[in-house]
Structure 1
Amino acid sequence: MKKLLIITVAVLLFPAFTWAQFSISGTITEKSNQALPGASVRIKNKTAGATTDAQGKYSISNLPAGNYTLSISFIGYRTIEKNVSINADQTLNVILTPATLIAEEVIVRATRATEKSATTYKNISKADIEANNFGQDLPFILNNTPGVVVTSDAGAGVGYTGIRIRGSDASRVNVTVNGIPYNDSESQGTFWVNMPDFASSTDNIQIQRGVGTSTNGAGAFGGSLNIQTASAADQPYGELNNTYGSFNTLKNTVKLGTGMIDNKWSFDGRLSRIKSDGFIDRAASDLKSYFLSGAYYGKKDLLRVNVFAGTEKTYQAWNGIPESRLNGDLAGMEAFIGRNFYDDRADQDAANLLNSGSRTYNSFTYKDQTDNYWQNHYQAIYARQFNEKFSFNGALHYTDGKGYFEEFKNDASFSKYGLPDVELNGTTIDQTDLVRRRWLNNDFYGLTYAFNYQAQSNLSFTLGGAYNQYRGKHYGQVIWAEYASTGTADRHYYDGKGNKDDFNIFGKVNYAPLENLNLFADLQYRSVSYAITGTDKNLSSLDFDNQYDFFNPKIGATYTLNEQSNIYGSFSVANKEPNRDDFTNLKAGLAVPKAEHLNNVEAGYRFKNNRLDAGLNVYGMFYKDQLIFTGEINEYSDAYRQNVDKSYRIGVELDAAYVINSKFGINANAALSRNKIKNYIDYITEYDADFNEIGVVPTTYANPDISFSPAAVLFGELVYKPLKGFAAAIQSKYVSKQYMDNTQNAARMLDAYWIQNARLGYDFQMKGLKNVNIGLLVNNLLNEKYESNGYTYSSLSQGVTTTENFYFAQAGTNFLLSLNLKF
């Protein structure tokens, strides 16, 4: 009876204890009423605090009645303190004023678009990145943005991954980190596997679709990714982020930072590792990285030094799955075996094909069939605000990379490795099993700079540019052979070099002749010298010396309709040099590749109020001499590209976010496009009865679709926030059919797919911790069987055409569970 009485009293008193807890909330803005997302609101001498969201809003709850001192801070603004007496829920809105310290944003100002720019772009905030960062590569974090299609060799987003924007592959997407070029100079692609967990050191990303603004590095023929690394935190912090999920995927991240020391210094560091078995057989990844940053903030100066690195060991899964294996077609597999397996390992390779899972097959079985690469980056960034009108930012950078991929080759001819045949017991042996490594050793260094001058309130100028040098060495080694010839393990059986000098200078002017009209002009000159010498992996001699001089003008206008909306239009020109493979993989009988030219027209409408943020744009991208994948590959699995005279991409894109009420929100985007080559000549290699190559047979196609260019990419997300700190989202993405070559042949196609994901996140506070976050990401909820990438090639012999299709299957239903602690 006594216990019952105690429980009854406790229950009756519980509401009183609940009523004694109060909250304080509000909005943090600057003088122009612009929200400040990421501002820190802390209660002095307490662990309680909050960070403002994308609308500048914050809330701190569960506060007993009493007197508190709030400290509100944001980089580039003066920290202020407010004394508050709480005996009820309170609203406190705060306006911050700029500090004399220079803001970090000046680092990327010259190459970024703003809300008044006549450019199609999307900003990805730190909060958005954190919410989607479960250890998958950066492309998968960007997968929900307009016109983006991502793929994974291992099938689950860890390891070798790729991204296409408006159908353009990674070699057409310009990537910069703090304004410094990141794309590989020769392939012009970005290998995200070399920067594992870089999202954990990223503050924000701007995606520009189309040509975009003048930037540094490779030309943007589909889009740009402008990455800004994390800026200094106001207070000391520590983070421990962990993820575990399907395919034994594991991510561990430790982050530490000093906050601002004496309002002048800050130091930050991150250490990460990611491991995954992958969805595909043996497609395991072992990735490690670190990021270190130190900064000095003067009254008019900012000096930041970044050092970061990534290492990867990834089992190769880049051959894909033959169509017959994917479809479980036994007769087709037997025919494939007959065409492709003919050496003394034929029985083993056949057994692997026949007995593997239809969607997890990997043709490689050698235990060390791995890709291994190490990359170190050094950045020294300096910015100075000379006065209210004039500022400068510049950077020195150096990247060194080195690595190899190892392969087992069966019955390889000695002659292909520059080695003499072996005489053994009176028998001449001209073939051997061997293991080879193909190395890349490169250095990339240079400088970037930009001067910004605000002549008048309605007139500003930017003068910027960069000079970068790349020195790459390509060589191969045979590290083991069943029959030893005259070579040694450290002998180079080929040596090639790639030397590239890249200079650009650009000038921009923004002028507002009327209060609601903004005009801009952006003129860029780019000069590229690219020499390829030595010998290639097939022992052929290389001697290409190319000089390219490009003029890339851009003009546009933005007209402000009212405080909530504007319209814009622009015309831009871009030029782009061929990459290394266009020369080294040059197919016999085809012309030396030419530089590409693009005219890009963009027009759009933007609207934003406190509930709806939306943009609608149309675009036209008209190419001259675009380099197009033919769909064929050579004996080294390298894809061929060739120039086509005229081609185009035209489309419409919608991007919108709508807050229904305090609990529900919708995010949606759509990209609809038409992507065509006006006249395409397809070349098929012809062989005689003894499989000797005798030439190429051309076939002309009128107005076919450009390969890997879906006509529709749609995304929708419903977000539900039933209580403070908890959010759930259901995501749905549709990608229409894509052709794997440019013949628009339905027999060489990736089927359309529609997948659903779910994401849960819960933030709460515990004693001794600033924040605890538990997250769950469930990918492919309905277990859709789909392929996001592939390739095809055909051959002709005795009047019969044979086509081989290969696909990269993506994982079915899988999950990632995270636990993130902030100290």
Structure 2
Amino acid sequence: MKRFQRLFVLGVLFTSSLTYAQNKINGVIYDSSTKTAIEGAEILIKSTTNGTYSESDGVFTLTTEFNQGQVQVSFLGYVSKTVNFNLNGANEINLGTIYINQDEQSLDGIVVMARGVIDVAEGRRTPIASSTITKQQIEEKVGAQDITSTLVNTPSVYVTSQARGFGESSMTTRGFDQSNTAFLLNGQPINGMDNGSVYWSNWSGMADIANAIQIQRGLGSSKLAISSVGGTINFITKATEMKEGGFLKAAYGNDNYFKTTVGYNTGLLKSGWGVSAMFTQWQGDGYTNQTAGEGQNYFFSVGYKPNEKHNFNFLITGAPQWHNQGTSTALSNYVTYGRKFNANQGTLNGEDFNGRKNYYHKPVANLNWDWKIDEKSSLSTVIYASIARGGGQSNRYAVDMDSTSGLLDYNKVVQTNEAIESGAAKNWLGADVNNHKWFGIVSSYNRELAKNLTMNVGFDLRTYKGSHQRQVTNLLGADYVVDRYNVNLGEIKISDTFSTNPWKAYTNFAKNPDQVYGWIYDQTIRYGGVFGQLEYATDKFSAFFQGSASQQSNERTDTYQYTPGNDKSEKVSNFGYNVKGGVSYNINQQHFIFGNAGIYSRQPYQNNIFMNYKNDVNQYAENEDIVGLELGYKFVSEFIDINVNAYKTTWENRVTGSSKMATATDVEKYNPDADPAILNVGEYIYTSNYGTKQDHKGIELDFVARPLYNLEVRGFASVGDWKYRNSANTLVRNEARVVLEEKSTNLDGAKVGDAAQTVFGLGFKYKIIPNLAVDVDYRYYDDLYSSRQQLDNLQLPSYQLFDAGVSYALDLNTKNRLSFRVNVNNLLDTKYISQLSTATQRTENSKTFKGIDTTNQGLMGWGRTWSVSAKFTF
């Protein structure tokens, strides 16, 4: 009897287990953008630990005892998705194809090297105001434009047109220019150490090698003591790819733009090694008249993974290029000659000739090492180097313009030079050369101190030496150039000319003092910093504290204006720091609120320390003070993600300096009744401007909605209130530092210019069929002012732009794909002023363009442009 009872109980249990396990849920997981299967996606019965993973073809089978409920699909780098199921008495159900969307705000699935060095938003649980542009978006949107064009559909970013030529665009973030926005390449700073500038022509290859771009507005998540007043922009490049394959790509666009690219990667071999390489050739005539350019981009990456603890990656990339340049000009010239007018355009021997030209080659190499020490700690290090050569060519003196055609007459220059009996040049072309060497290392150690507490510490070391000189590139019919101002050589005759080819510039530059005119000086900058961060994070709450400190020294050596032994400036050292902190609260996995605050004390750039190309130190060049505050709200769901941010940034103690030789007019102005010895003709006058404060505040909104699996809607808006506060103080002194003049100009309430303070946009991407999609973007710009610092600043007309594109992909087989893309920018061919450098108010007698006095100097935006591309992936 007992034996029977035991058998009965076992039978019931066995039957029950079969009953509970007999329900099956089937389906397949696909990427909604590429319509390709996803392997390794996690599928869970919501609120349980019962789950499985999708296979290589995306298929999954999940067993459960429940008859109804919800399945939750998750995968790294994608937005989680919840799907309802109800078996309705059946034992099995097929959910069909489940499409999941890439998380546009996530970089976790993209960053594969130097994770601890690259400060992306996911490196910290406490949120920041950020936007991420994926590799696919970069490929679709950039077309024949600079990489900055991919950022135009994000809040508080203003990108001016490339009216000056290839690679000549510029951008502001929350009203602060590029020298006050930090740019990082795989964790290494790329802003110029001498002036903070970024020249996009040096980074023309970024569009080909970038895996993602993340713009962090305001305080950002970077732990380095860098110039992130407006924000921080991280460029995450390709590393050595894990899968074997390659691609061929060709693009053609307006004004004879043509670009070809080839890339290949071996994948990770059994030995642990892998290699990825890419090469690009491009050329074009340029939208603006006579702004032709040509260049190459190269990328070479070697990866080595000896075991699960260590990962090494070495890469070198560069973009040697040359391009003719445009310039700001009076609006009246655009009215007369059209918006493609270039004030540098000219003719020589019956052919187009532009004397203004940029040529540069700036290769960058870095070695990344990621070390997973144990389950709780890791170390990431990047060592980098850049040895750059090149410069900017221009006319030494003005060239006459034909008022009928608007062309500069270089034939007249040649005729004048040839007629001079001595053979000395009256006018010629010369290049301002900037050859530099830059080396650095950034290392970051991360450790989990407790269950919810992490620590990060590290250091940042950099050294920079820039060598500057002027050299002759074209004598324009003369035999030589006379230079009389080198104090060590006296009067010399220079007949040597040097190439403006970016490849030749590496070796073909003036190496002897008697080959140089105008100036010869070196800048040496050494920087050392340490940083640290503590973050406490639970499922509901997170808080962080972050700080950094740095010491920077500056020296200048001038062998042109000073004799040996007197040619080196004093060493100027400045201590800087930043402190940041923030908190966030997760209300219910969909609603997040956060707040961040920070204080920066930033060292002045060397160009503000040493005045007007001399070794004289500006005693007023002290650290600049920046205070940032921001509040944010995030909403995340299956169908829509929304971000709202409010910010306030103040920037004060800005100092600029300049100097000039006193003229007779200056002597008369500054000491009409005093001892003339206070100022004599030929002595230096030093001018310092200080005391200006900027106050920037605003609100930002952006969202991504997915109402249908094949429709994505994006929108953004930013409303800023950017003003100058207090007065701008000007102090004029002589060589003995005696004050000649002190004045104050009221700027309180003046509008900050050079960027639209009100911007909003809306766009959509619609998949007509799985491999065919169209997209349209609309943007409106208002509250744009000239770049002048004055109380009655001039407001530019508002304008709106439409961009459109079509993408099509043809899957040839499981490995090969042929894809096509068409871009049209400024679809309606809108005429607009993108930038003004003067602020002349119109009068009754003014000639105007869109209500603006045409004597104002500025740039017109590009008209309609287009590009088409085809890519074969294998």
Q: TM-score normalised by the shorter chain: which range applies? A: 0.7 to 0.9
**Equivalent residues of 2:837, 2:857 under 8 A apart:** yes
Aligned to 2:760: 714
Paired amino acid for 1:525: A
CA contact (8 A) 2:577 2:602 kept: no
User: Equivalent residue for 1:527?
Assistant: 551
8 A Cα contact 1:210 1:600, kept in partner: yes
Q: CA separation in 1, counterparts of 2:722 and 2:442?
A: 35
Do structure 1's residue 507 and structure 2's residue 515 form an aligned pair?
Answer: no
2:829 to 777, 780, 783: 783
Residues 392 and 451 in structure 1, CA contact (< 8 A), matched pair in contact too: yes
Hey, what does 1:665 align to over in structure 2? Answer: 712
Q: Between Structure 1 and Structure 2, which shows a larger proportion of strand residues? A: 1
Change in Cα spacing, 1:121 to 1:234, as seen in structure 2 (3 Å) is same
Match of residue 128 from structure 2:
119
Rounded Cα–Cα distance in structure 1 between residues aligned with 2:655 and 2:754: 14
Q: Secondary structure at the match of 1:785?
A: coil
Q: Which one of the candidate residues 295, 299, 303 is aligned to 2:308?
A: 299
* Aligned-partner residue type, residue 667 of structure 1: R
Q: 1:372: Cα distance to partner?
A: 0.8
Deviations 1:580-632 (A, max 9, x none): 443456599997433211010011011111111111010110122135899xx
1:282-293 alignment to 2 at 5 Å? 282-293=290-301
Q: Which residue of 2 aligns with 1:236?
A: 244
Whole-Å separation in 1 of the counterparts to 2:743 and 2:567: 26
1:166-188 per-residue CA deviation (whole Å, 9 max, x = no partner) reads: 11111111111111111121121
CA distance in 2, matches of 1:426, 1:463: 66
**Residue 587 of structure 2: aligned partner:** 561
Q: State yes or no: 1:144 paired with 2:172.
A: no
CA spacing shift, 1:177–1:590, aligned 2, 3 Å: closer
2:768 alignment partner, SS class = coil
Q: Deviations over 1:671-726 (max 9, x none)?
A: 111111112438799xxxxxxxx999864233101222422121210221121022
Deviation track 1:308-328 (CA, whole Å, cap 9, x = no partner) reads 1111101021x2121221344
Alpha-carbon distance between aligned partners in 1 of 2:110 and 2:42, rounded to the nearest angstrom:
15
How far residue 190 of structure 1 moved from its aligned partner, in angstroms, is 1.5
Q: Which amino acid aligns with 1:190?
A: V
1:384 partnered with 2:378 = no
Change beyond 3 A, Cα 1:284–1:542: farther
The alignment status of 1:652 with 2:699, answered yes or no, reads yes
Note closer, same or farther for the CA distance 1:536–1:363 as it changes in structure 2 (3 Å cut): farther
The unaligned stretches of length 5 or more in structure 2 are 1-34, 47-53, 60-74, 82-93, 101-108, 347-352, 400-416, 483-491, 497-509, 659-686, 733-739, 841-852
Q: Does 1:362 align with 2:343?
A: yes
| Matched residue type, 1:819 | A
- For 1:261 and 1:169, locate their aligned partners in 2 and report how far apart those are by CA, in whole Å: 45
- Give the whole-Å Cα distance in 1 for the aligned partners of 2:704 and 2:837: 36
Task: Report how many aligned residue pairs link the two structures.
Answer: 695
Equivalent residue for 2:651? Answer: 623
On the 8 A contact 1:167/1:708 being kept in 2, the answer is yes
Q: Judging changes above 3 Å, is the alpha-carbon distance between structure 1 residues 566 and 381 closer, same or farther for their aligned structure 2 residues?
A: same
Q: Shift of residue 779 of structure 1?
A: 0.5
1:548 aligned partner: 574
- Paired residue for 1:675? 722
- When Rg is computed on C-alpha atoms for both structures, the one with the higher figure is 2
Cα deviation for residue 501 of structure 1 reads 0.8
Instruction: Output the CA distance in 1 between the equivalents of 2:717 and 2:493.
Output: 57
1:432 partner SS: coil
SS at the partner of 1:575? strand
Q: Does 1:314 align with 2:342?
A: no
Per-residue CA distance 1:246-270 (angstroms, 9 max, x = gap): 1111221111111221272221111
Distance 2:125 2:359 in 1: 44
2:860 paired residue among 799, 809, 817: 809
After superposition, the C-alpha distances for 1:715-755 in whole angstroms (9 at most, x for unaligned) are 21022112102221110112213222345577744332211
Q: Secondary structure at the match of 2:544?
A: strand
Deviation for aligned residue 1:91? 4.4
CA shift in 2, pair 1:586/1:597, >3 Å? farther
Q: Which amino acid aligns with 1:509?
A: L
Stretch of structure 1 that moved more, 540-549 or 468-477: 540-549
Contact 1:133 1:200 in 2 (8 A): no
Evaluate the alpha carbon distance shift between residue 374 and residue 429 of structure 1 in structure 2; reply closer, same or farther with a 3 A threshold.
closer
- In 2, Cα distance between the equivalents of 1:813 and 1:90? 44
Alignment-mate amino acid for residue 487 of structure 1: K
Amino acid at match of 2:521: G
Residue correspondence of structure 1 range 418-817 to structure 2 within 5 A: 432-481=426-475, 482=478, 484=480, 485=482, 486-488=492-494, 489=496, 490=510, 491-493=515-517, 494-512=519-537, 515-534=539-558, 543=569, 545-583=571-609, 592-626=620-654, 642-681=689-728, 699-743=745-789, 748-767=794-813, 770-792=816-838, 805-817=856-868
Contact 2:111-2:236 within 8 A present in 1 as well:
no
Aligned to 2:78: 55
Cα 1:269–1:553 change in 2 (3 A) is same
Which consecutive unaligned segments of at least 5 residues does structure 1 have?
1-22, 45-51, 59-87, 95-100, 329-355, 413-422, 631-639, 686-693, 795-801
Instruction: State the alpha-carbon separation in 1 of the partners of residues 568 and 839 from structure 2.
Output: 25
Task: Tell me which of 352, 363, 383 is aligned to 1:396.
Answer: 383
Deviations along 1:19-63, one digit per CA (max 9) or x if unpaired, are: xxxx985685359999xxxx995699xxxxxxx9963799xxxxx
TM-score, normalized by length of structure 2?
0.72
Q: Say whether the 8 Å CA contact 2:291–2:323 is kept in structure 1.
A: yes
Equivalent runs, 1:82-121 vs 2, <5 Å: 91=97, 104=112, 106-108=114-116, 111-114=119-122, 116-121=125-130
Question: 2:209, 2:110 → 1: CA distance?
Answer: 21
Counterparts of 1:97-246 in structure 2 under 5 Å?
104=112, 106-108=114-116, 111-114=119-122, 116-154=125-163, 158-216=166-224, 218-246=226-254
Contact 1:409 1:436 in 2 (8 A): yes
Structure 2 residue aligned with 1:72:
none
Q: Aligned equivalents of 2:456 and 2:448: distance in 1?
A: 9
Match of 2:41 among 29, 46, 51: 29
SS at match of 2:155: coil
> How much is the aligned-residue C-alpha RMSD, in angstroms?
4.0
Shift of 1:117: 1.9
Instruction: Indicate how the Cα distance of structure 1 residues 479 and 443 shifts in structure 2: closer, same or farther if over 3 A, else same.
Output: same
Structure 1 residue 409 and structure 2 residue 409: aligned?
Answer: no
**How far apart are the structure 2 equivalents of 1:26 and 1:110?**
27
CA distance in 2, matches of 1:24, 1:274: 32
Give the Cα separation in 2 of the matches to 1:501 and 1:804.
44
Whether the 8 Å CA contact 2:323–2:357 is kept in 1: the answer is yes
Amino acid at match of 2:131: K
Return the alpha-carbon distance in structure 2 between the equivalents of residues 579 and 537 of structure 1.
Answer: 22
